[in-house]
Amino acid sequence: MEKKKPLSDIHVEDYLEEYAGREKTAADAFFTGGRETEALDGLWHYAADPYNTCLRQHWYEARGVNAAGFTLPLDFDFEGWPTMTLPCCWNTAAPEFFWYESTMVFTRRFRYLPKKAGERVFLRVGAANYALRVFLNGRYLGSHTGGSTPAFFELTEALQTENRILLTADASRRPRQVPPENTDWFNYGGVYRELELYRLPGTFIREFFVRLKPGSTDRLLISLRLSDPAEGEAVFSLPEKGVEASLPVSGGTAEAEIPCPVQLWTPEAPKLYDVALRFGEDRAEDRVGFRDIRTEGLQILLNGKPLFLRGVSCHEDAPERGKALTEEDCEQAILEAKALGCNFMRLAHYPHTEKMALLADRLGMLLWEEIPVYWAVRFSDGAVYAEAENQLSELILRDRNRASVILWSVGNENADTDERFSFMSRLAAAARERDGSRLITAACMVSADNRIADRLAEVLDVIGLNEYFGWYSPDLRQLPELFARSRPAKPVIISEFGADALFGHHGTAEDKGTVECQAEIYRRQTAELAKIPCVRGMTPWILYDFRCPRRTHPLQGYYNRKGLVDADRRRRKPAWYVLRDFYEKKKAEE
């Protein structure tokens, strides 16, 4: 990748070609629980680079002199660049980048001293939107695409004592990405989740999956996969129950079923157990709950008992931080949902930070997790499918030990075409194959003739249904009509209903955009939905107002105002109390 002669880059338009073929995917992910990390968070020098000059000119090689020893003029100066504290969304980090949706280059130095002979060192980036490229000491280590799932890069071969690391993060929206170009949320750019270094032994535990055997209450299933096809013995332990079981590992994998009566996890009593897995020099740990989730006819059963999912939808968006949520932000959202009477949250429309599921495990909140197969994804394109499936795999690998997560959603509001049917059926099958301990869903749309007729429902366990009666479809009488005309044989979750209302904007229930109108729609929606036996839950749209460039009406001000709570995450609108009262009644009926 050496720059041949001066200005040689200016006539090259396929400059990205040399960076192809080094994509990091779910196959590079590894289990992170219980491992020591060294943070690479903190101050990084940065430059906005909308023309991708870093990639075109190979800035990461940092060549200050030519072969003859003459000093070269440079278009960059790493140490002279300003600094930004990562992780963050650059849109909220500096006012001049609020609308910026292109490439940013980040670089810093760090010191490395080996701790153990033969150790391997990896960088995990919790999330960077959308295409991330990593360079260490002038060498290209690879790329990752997908704006909401973690990326893993091995640094070992390129490490020195003093290191220069450089990242490029390209937040461009593109039609062949997942999500595609057009979404109803703000496209925050940045390396916005933790940057961490991991030191692992030569052979390490790549996957560690522990769950209750579906349908049982006293048998655990353990799966493990190592980094190499090694042979040997792994040891699984669950100290609180005195379990220490040895697992024969063959070809780098092991599967075991272990008798172990446990106290089941529920939202009301979110019991967690410490578990650990050892292989050779490596050890992984987690804190997990055990629960059974399945459907029977029109019911959703948690640990064998019918359950009504009193939910709310949620985006990842805080006014001062965008998507770079802190643990406090996550806890605030879960506690707000609890105050509303919820036992369930839909984390729309992309994988949220793993902090959410970790907290939900601890605090007792059921979760729906989703990948951004949103609206008009290019369903006919094989590469787009691969991208979607990879994001799904990365999410499942990340969160499958979380008892709180009961549903994987393979997408939202997609037109019911043949191509979409085959694309999303494949995703549903992939999710099922990777994880048989959860239910599969997707947020479908009401058909043009007001029925639940989406063909995708055939392959889902639970039908998610977005309906906006009273709002986009203004006639609320069509809601009972919808259910009179549809006889789904599976449980339905109303994955969205709602109405925009600006906090403090008053008027009559007929005036769109007023809090009275929103509250009235919530009153009528909940009253109707309560009568429908197949409706086993709901996640109205949405907990908090969120940024949205498509929303330019003065009442919106570039926000989607369907929040039950204002974007300040404090001020509750009247519809909040309507939903709270409805959920209290539902809870009392249980």
Decide if residue 184 touches ligand GCB (CB under 6 A).
yes
The CB-of-375 to ligand GCB minimum distance in angstroms stands at 8
Q: Out of 167, 264, 560, 566, point to the residue binding ligand GCB (CB under 6 A).
A: 560
Question: What span, in angstroms and rounded, lies between the C-alpha atoms of 368 and 352?
Answer: 11
Q: Does residue 547 bind ligand GCB (CB under 6 A)? A: no
Residue 199 vs 349, nearer CB to ligand GCB: 349
Question: C-beta of 348: minimal distance to ligand GCB in Å?
Answer: 7
Residue with tokens 């997408």: 411
Q: Which is nearer to ligand GCB, 334 or 443 (CB)?
A: 443
Minimum distance of ligand GCB from residue 412's CB (angstroms): 5
Question: Smaller CB distance to ligand GCB: residue 387 or 496?
Answer: 496
541 scored as a contact of ligand GCB (CB under 6 A): yes
CB of 131 to ligand GCB, least distance (A): 23
Residue whose C-alpha is closest to residue 331's, from 309, 364, 303: 364
> What minimum distance in Å lies between the beta carbon of 471 and ligand GCB?
8
Whose tokens are 């044989």? That residue is 489
Q: Which is nearer to ligand GCB, 226 or 347 (CB)?
A: 347
Q: Is 496 in the site for ligand GCB (CB under 6 A)?
A: yes
> How many residues are listed for the chain in this entry?
590
DSSP secondary structure of 294-337: EEETTEEEETTEE--EEEEEE---BTTTBT---HHHHHHHHHHH
Read off the DSSP letter of residue 360.
H
- Identify the residue whose tokens are 């290019």: 378
Query: Residue 224 and residue 275: Cα distance in Å, rounded?
Result: 13
Three-class SS of 268-302: CCCCCEEEEEEECCEEEEEEECCCCEEEECCEEEE
Does residue 196 bind ligand GCB (CB under 6 A)?
A: no
Does residue 461 belong to the site contacting ligand GCB (CB under 6 A)? no
Asked whether the beta carbons of 467 and 494 are under 8 A apart, the reply is: yes
Binding track over 370-409 against ligand GCB, x by CB under 6 A: ----------------------------------------
Using CB under 6 A as the binding criterion, the count of chain residues that bind ligand GCB stands at 9
Query: Which C-beta is closer to ligand GCB: that of 24 or that of 562?
Result: 562
Q: In the complex, what is the shortest distance from the CB of residue 418 to ligand GCB, in angstroms, rounded to a whole number?
A: 22
> How far is Cα 405 from Cα 561, in angstroms, rounded to an integer?
27
CB of 76 or CB of 186, closer to ligand GCB: 186
DSSP-derived letter for residue 456 is G
Applying the rule CB under 6 A, the residues between 205 and 244 that interact with ligand GCB are none
CB of 470 to ligand GCB, least distance (A): 13
In the set 310, 420, 562, 573, which binds ligand GCB (CB under 6 A)? 562
Report how far apart the first and last C-alpha atoms of the chain are (Å, whole number).
65
401: phi > 0 → left, psi -120 to 50 → alpha, else beta; which? alpha
Cα–Cα dist 141/145, whole Å: 14
Nearest-angstrom CA–CA distance, 464 and 455: 13
Beta bridge partners of 235: 246, 278
User: Is residue 518 close enough to count as binding ligand GCB by CB under 6 A?
Assistant: no
| Angle in degrees, CA 216, 218, 224, rounded to 5 | 90
> Using CB under 6 A, which residues numbered 72 to 131 contact ligand GCB?
none
Least CB distance from residue 562 to ligand GCB, whole Å? Answer: 5
Give the H or E element holding residue 243: strand 243-249
Count CA atoms closer than 13 A to 518's CA, side-chain side: 28
Determine, following the binding rule CB under 6 A, whether residue 454 of this chain makes contact with ligand GCB.
Answer: no
**Closest to ligand GCB by CB, 58 or 562:** 562
Closer residue to ligand GCB (CB): 233 or 475 = 475
> Per rule CB under 6 A, is residue 412 in the interface with ligand GCB?
yes
120: number of Cβ within 10 Å: 18
Nearer to ligand GCB, 349 or 573 (CB): 349
Closest CB to ligand GCB: residue number: 184
Question: Which tokens sit at 87?
Answer: 């992780």
| DSSP helix/strand/coil, 219 | strand
Closest contact distance (angstroms) between CB of 472 and ligand GCB is 7
d(CA 11, CA 582): 64
Q: Is 539 in the site for ligand GCB (CB under 6 A)?
A: no
- Cα dist. 521→340, 470, 476 in Å? 17, 6, 8
466 is an interface residue for ligand GCB by CB under 6 A: yes
With respect to ligand GCB, which residue has the nearer C-beta, 140 or 522?
522
329 or 413, CB closer to ligand GCB?
A: 413
Helix 515-529 × helix 478-485 angle, to 10°:
30
Cβ at position 60, least distance to ligand GCB in Å: 37
How far apart, in Å, are the Cα atoms of 15 and each of 3, 56, 381, 387?
12, 6, 23, 22
Residue number with CB closer to ligand GCB (32 or 539): 539
Contact 40, 136 (CB under 8 A): no
Q: Which of 413, 516, 520, 566 binds ligand GCB (CB under 6 A)?
A: 413
Closest CB 548 distance from ligand GCB, rounded Å? 7
User: Per-residue contact track with ligand GCB, 310 to 339, x per CB under 6 A?
Assistant: ------------------------------
Q: Which residues bind ligand GCB (CB under 6 A)?
A: 184, 349, 412-413, 466, 496, 541, 560, 562
